[in-house]
Structure 1
Amino acid sequence: MSEYLNIVTRDRICQILLNRPDKKNALTLSMYEGLTQALKDADANPDVRVILLGSTGDSFCSGNDIGDFIGAINSPNAVQAPLQFLQTISSLIKPVVAVVPGVAVGIGVTMLLHCDLVIASDQANFQLPFARLGLVPEGGASLIVPQLVGHRRAFELLVMGESFSAVTAADLGIINRTVEQNRLQEQSLLEAGKLASLAPDAVRQSKAMLRSVSQSQMQEVLLAEVEQFAARLKSEEAMEALQAFMQKREPDFSRF
């Protein structure tokens, strides 16, 4: 289990918290592996009725740790670890409540698409900057986001990749609601507690029914996206974008 995860089970709620606040909870490959195992364990634990996915610090998740990602770029695990995490979170039996206190970028947003209830601070900020990094959408975003908002708005979010507020995220259906920052943890635990108090089999069966039609398609999309994402990682465009990020400069795509 990754050292950057805090896991506590209390009152039938398993809280899995990303705990790398100094890096805005950017995900390393070991964190992906730890998250995958933590989610599987919580889903299999008979004492857990609700999984609460959150973070420490004032950020939710700033996406992939670029340095870690570049270091593993030629390793199969560079895409396999994120894929296994996405396959797991998208197929959990138990309900998942996500709590977003601040920044959510890239997979920090796409993982929310697989949660059942998402509550964000009114100070939270979201971004899906895939094309800006020379990459393509992942996490099932190419399927779910157009279903939520239509092609044109999805194109704006996934290709133009500009940041947007929690209010906009709620309007788009990416999150359920916003809460004042100082009430976020209290309200999230309250909602998770409400879920935990419901008839557990009825909750799990209802979730399964809501996803039954799209589940097989989702798994196919996750695989297809990862194949294209892996190919893009080795492209000159992505190399320029990732190097520019590390060097804290704007990428120059003029030669492509």
Structure 2
Amino acid sequence: MAAVTWRVVRCWCPSLPQVFRFPVAQVHLGRPKMRASQQDFENAVNQVKLLKKDPGNQVKLQLYALYKQATDGPCNMPKPGMFDLVNKAKWEAWNALGSLPKMYQEILLALKNASTDNSAITVFTGAGDYYCSGNDLTNFTSASGGMEEAAEMGAVVLREFVNAFIDFPKPLVAVVNGPAVGISVTLLGLFDAVYASDKATFHTPFSHLGQSPEACSSYTFPKIMGSAKATEMLLFGKKLTAREACAQGLVTEVFPDSTFEKEIWTRLKAYVKLPPNSMRISKQLIRKNEKEKLHAVNAEECTTLKERWLSEECINAIMSFMSRKSKL
């Protein structure tokens, strides 16, 4: 049998893994083969050196910290001596990340690997009944090192995470098999196609949690569905059905849940037969005029979110949510 040339990233759902009935090239997140190598890091360092403008030591320290966090996990090394300034700065940058959510580590690594392998398209889907249940809010209540430090590094991580989607060179397809919440919804504006089961729903309850939009949704959602409909979702937290999301342009097409898996994988098998370089070039032409805008929006959203995370309103809203959840 010929090798299948699409990639399935199964990362959104906390439930049991889905069993596909088609031969697919799968990324089993968290396996050792997903780990970046020292050579990967050295290649990235060399690419930074080729930049026409030096990004500065702070950016380079953040890149180093994210690499160490992704490959080795939370900082597990003793702090260098006070006179070892270079290694001390690296250690502090790595240590400041604390316990970066595993989901973000794995998705960043998966996207990095998928961007350079021989797959034609990259597909995100859920495993089980949900596409994604949203961020784990206990990260806010169990942050080590203080809220200010956690908010600062959280904004850095979120910015890098969303940038990976903005810059991804291949077609990105979301196969939304069930309910989706939070960042898994806002990221859809950066995908090239979104296919949904008719049991899928789309919810962005930011105001309920004292937060603000992310993943460029403050720009992409009004552009896709118009200001009024975007406001209903991002400000008032309206939950959309799959049909409503399709009517508003967020979803490309909706399929009956009973035939969803069969129909969608049949379609994707046809897509991967298309010339991959042609698809990459076409995506570049479609996206290149707004990439700079998306990066600017992402930076502004992350700065705003950092301020929101430190606000009394946000902290109280999250604590109230956690309290209600614990009583269920």
TM-score where L is the length of structure 1: 0.87
Q: Percent of aligned positions with the same letter in both sequences? A: 29
Paired with 1:132 and 1:29, the residues of 2 have a C-alpha distance of 22
Q: What is the Cα deviation at residue 153 of structure 1?
A: 1.8
* Residue 134 of structure 2: aligned partner: 63
* Residue 52 of structure 1: aligned partner: 123
**3-state secondary structure, aligned to 1:84:** helix
Could you tell me whether the CA contact under 8 Å between 2:13 and 2:132 is conserved in 1? no
Residue-by-residue CA offset, 1:81-127 (whole Å, 9 max, x unaligned): 23222110121111111111111111010111111111111001111
Aligned partner of 2:310 among 214, 234, 238: 234
Residue-by-residue CA offset, 1:175-224 (whole Å, 9 max, x unaligned): 10111113222222222222211111111111111111111100110011
* Residue 284 of structure 2: aligned partner: 208
Residue-by-residue CA offset, 1:158-182 (whole Å, 9 max, x unaligned): 1011211000000111110111113
Q: What is the Cα deviation at residue 239 of structure 1?
A: 0.8
Aligned partner of 2:269 among 174, 193, 201: 193
> Residue 34 in 1 paired to residue 27 in 2?
no
> Residue 21 in 1 paired to residue 14 in 2?
yes
Residue-by-residue CA offset, 1:27-62 (whole Å, 9 max, x unaligned): x722111101101101111x2111111111110112
| Residues 20 and 175 (structure 1), Cα distance of their counterparts in 2 relative to 1, 3 Å cut | closer
Aligned partner of 2:230 among 134, 147, 154: 154
Paired with 2:311 and 2:201, the residues of 1 have a C-alpha distance of 29
The root-mean-square deviation of aligned C-alpha atoms, in Å, is: 1.7
Paired with 1:54 and 1:195, the residues of 2 have a C-alpha distance of 16
Structure 1 unmatched runs, 5+: 1-9, 250-256
Worse-superposed segment, 68-77 or 87-96:
68-77
* Residue 169 of structure 1: aligned partner: 245
Could you tell me whether the CA contact under 8 Å between 1:29 and 1:82 is conserved in 2? no
Paired with 1:128 and 1:20, the residues of 2 have a C-alpha distance of 16
Could you tell me whether the CA contact under 8 Å between 1:69 and 1:78 is conserved in 2? no
Count, aligned residues: 235
Could you tell me whether the CA contact under 8 Å between 2:12 and 2:125 is conserved in 1? no
1:244 partner letter: S
Q: Which has the higher strand share?
A: 1
Could you tell me whether the CA contact under 8 Å between 1:97 and 1:192 is conserved in 2? no
* Residue 253 of structure 1: aligned partner: none
Could you tell me whether the CA contact under 8 Å between 2:8 and 2:122 is conserved in 1? yes
- Larger gyration radius, structure 1 or structure 2: 2
| Residues 99 and 69 (structure 1), Cα distance of their counterparts in 2 relative to 1, 3 Å cut | farther
TM-score where L is the length of structure 2: 0.68
Q: Which aligned pairs between 1:98-137 and structure 2 lie closer than 5 A? A: 98-137=174-213
Structure 2 unmatched runs, 5+: 17-99
Q: Which runs of 4+ in 1 moved over 6 A?
A: none
Aligned partner of 2:160 among 80, 84, 89: 84
Paired with 1:106 and 1:66, the residues of 2 have a C-alpha distance of 11
| Residues 20 and 124 (structure 1), Cα distance of their counterparts in 2 relative to 1, 3 Å cut | closer
**3-state secondary structure, aligned to 1:248:** helix
Q: What is the Cα deviation at residue 20 of structure 1?
A: 4.4
